[in-house]
């Protein structure tokens, strides 16, 4: 049985500020250590639950945060940037997915570093008329490949959002947000213990009753509102986009995979201007 883990950093216990999560900042080394230990807890739980293969995809920032020499020996690592499927690179072919260290969607109150794929570019992101967080859109891409999500960890609002779209998913709340940059954080040892237990439980539940992949209706319509008009100006250069107003574009695709790849292209274009 193959378990796939997409690992972000904002949802890790102890993380409350961008300054902790950027390379070459004083707190970054500690942040990566905390991230690694929560990921390893998920791997250990998966192995105890019967996983024969575990693949971890580093999904934060430039996606080269996790030191491979410290990774659980039963796991392989996808590292680096650019990846065609970004945060869900390598998900196809897995039996079950875990999202570790995730954060809530843009505009979520009392949630650490809330954003949807780009904190500097995206003001709002919706799929088929519904606001989508990274958890939602990544789960939808996994669902496209027939891979259900069995475990989501992150702050309280993140796991609340996950439960709405992923009935039956197991979750671990690592902290409770106070504002965007303040939270009541659980002790890392307690968080890791629960992650390991829930990861093992997710595999047992998968074998006994299963999880349903998260699917979106096709064709798929994505609406994205950018922070500034200049970002919409350059994003509009992607063929197939439709400009609704100063900051908002629509892109229509035959399925979520096509729309997801378009999203990556739109974000690369948008980041070139401010």
Could you give all domains of the chain from N- to C-terminal order, each with its CATH number? 2-117+134-208 (3.40.50.10780), 220-270 (3.30.1360.130)
Q: Which of 60, 115, 144, 187 is catalytic?
A: 115
Token reading at 196: 């390991």
Residue 80 pLDDT more than 90?
Answer: yes
- Per DSSP bridges, beta strands 130-131 and 122-127 are antiparallel
Residue pair 54/43 in contact (Cβ under 8 Å)? The answer is yes
Q: What number is the average pLDDT over the span 79-88? A: 96
pLDDT at 57: 98
pLDDT at 168: 96
Q: What number is the average pLDDT over the span 116-125? A: 96
pLDDT at 146: 98
- Give the model confidence (pLDDT) of 208-229 as tens digits: 999 999 999 999 999 999 999 9
Q: Confirm whether 115 is a catalytic residue.
A: yes
Q: What pLDDT band is residue 24 in, cutting at 50, 70 and 90? A: confident
pLDDT at 274: 84
Percent of the chain with pLDDT over 70: 100
| Averaged confidence pLDDT in the chain | 97
Residue pair 222/125 in contact (Cβ under 8 Å)? The answer is yes
**pLDDT-wise least confident of 16-25, 102-111, 119-128, 188-197:** 16-25
pLDDT at 159: 98
Q: How far apart are CA 44 and CA 3, in angstroms?
A: 11
Q: What number is the average pLDDT over the span 166-187? A: 98
């Amino acid at each position: 049985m193959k378990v796939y883990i997409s690992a972000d950093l904002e949802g890790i216990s102890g993380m409350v500020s961008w300054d902790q999560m950027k390379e070459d900042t004083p707190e970054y080394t500690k942040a990566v250590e905390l991230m690694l230990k929560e990921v390893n807890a998920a791997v250990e739980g998966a192995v105890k639950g019967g996983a024969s293969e575990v693949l971890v995809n580093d999904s934060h920032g430039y996606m080269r945060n996790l030191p491979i020499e410290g990774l659980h020996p039963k796991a392989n690592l996808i590292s680096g940037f650019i990846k065609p499927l970004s945060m869900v690179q390598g998900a196809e072919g897995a039996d079950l997915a875990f999202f570790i260290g995730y954060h809530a969607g843009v505009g979520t109150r009392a949630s650490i570093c809330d954003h949807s794929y780009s904190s500097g570019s995206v003001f709002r992101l919706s799929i088929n008329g519904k606001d989508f967080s990274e958890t939602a859109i990544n789960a939808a891409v996994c669902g496209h490949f027939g891979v259900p999500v069995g475990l989501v960890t992150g702050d309280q609002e993140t796991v609340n959002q996950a439960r709405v779209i992923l009935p039956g998913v197991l979750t671990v709340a690592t902290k409770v947000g106070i504002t965007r940059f303040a939270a009541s954080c659980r002790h890392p040892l307690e968080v890791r213990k629960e992650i390991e237990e829930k990861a093992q439980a997710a595999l047992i539940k998968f074998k006994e009753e299963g999880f349903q992949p998260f699917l979106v209706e096709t064709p798929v319509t994505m609406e994205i509102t950018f922070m500034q008009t200049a970002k919409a100006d350059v994003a509009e250069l992607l063929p197939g986009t439709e400009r609704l107003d100063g900051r908002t574009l629509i892109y229509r695709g035959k399925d979520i995979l096509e729309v997801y790849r378009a999203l990556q292209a739109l974000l690369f274009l948008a980041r070139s201007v401010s």
